[in-house]
Structure 1
Amino acid sequence: MGAAYLVALLISLAGMAALDRRFTLFFWRDGWRAAVTLLVGVAFFLVWDVVGIDLGIFFRGETSFMTGVQLAPELPLEEVFFLVLLCWLTMNLHSGARLALGALAARREGARA
């Protein structure tokens, strides 16, 4: 039970990768740019977490579903995987919305012609 949350995050990340590959959204569109964007986003939120922990705003919840591995006081290992998932999901949604809006605009242009 101690790794259930981490396993769920890894399964979710595999789903993000599958959607990304299927629709050429983020990493499969431009790998280098995607990697830099993802790293910057995760670093930003890790700094955010550390500041929140330092200010006494964020605390690690006690649950049997987590591994118990901490990268820093009150910063569990699973947080990094969650932040990767959050950033990747956001970029997939952004890229998917751009593709959908582009297809809609092209359909409207075709209907006018």
Structure 2
Amino acid sequence: MTFAYLGCLLGGLACMGLLDWRFSLFWFADARRAAWVHGIGFVCFIAWDLLGIGFGVFTRGPSPYLSGIEIVPHLTLEELFFLAFLIWCTMVLYTGSARILHTLRKRPGDSGDRR
């Protein structure tokens, strides 16, 4: 069970990739922009984690589901994959929601008056 959480995260990333590929929502819509957004978000979240670890707010507790691999003390390998998943999931939800709302606003025969 040592790598269970990492396996779940990798599975989630694979599913997010399929969803993104199928509907061209984030990486498959504009890879250059996605790289910037994903990269900047990742750096910000890592900085946040490192500050939290430095101030003693974030610690690594015992868990049989973690790999035990630490990048720095209290920052596990799984955290890196979790942050990548979190950012990707957020952007897929945002772009997907924007696309749905745009489609609903442009329905044929709709006068556009929403009273």
| TM-score of the aligned structures, taking structure 2 as reference length | 0.94
- Residue in 2 that maps onto 1:80: 80
- Residue in 2 that maps onto 1:61: 61
| 2:110 paired with 1:112 | yes
- 1:71 is paired with a residue whose SS is strand
Deviation at 1:112, TM superposition (A): 3.4
- 2:60 is paired with a residue whose SS is coil
Letter in 2 for 1:31: A
Letter in 2 for 1:3: F
**CA offsets per residue over residues 49-72 of structure 1, 9 Å max, x none?**
000010110111210111100000
Letter in 1 for 2:110: R
Counterpart Cα distance in 2 of 1:13 and 1:22: 14
Letter in 2 for 1:58: F
Structure 1 stretches (4+) deviating beyond 4 angstroms?
A: none
- Residue in 1 that maps onto 2:9: 9
Give the CA RMSD over aligned residues: 0.9
> For structure 1, which runs of at least 5 residues remain unmatched after alignment?
none
- Residue in 2 that maps onto 1:25: 25
Identical pairs, percent: 42
| TM-score of the aligned structures, taking structure 1 as reference length | 0.95
Counterpart Cα distance in 2 of 1:60 and 1:15: 27
Letter in 2 for 1:93: L
Aligned residues: 111
**CA offsets per residue over residues 29-62 of structure 1, 9 Å max, x none?**
0001101110111110000000001011011121
Q: Give the number of the structure whose residues are more often helix, by fraction.
A: 1
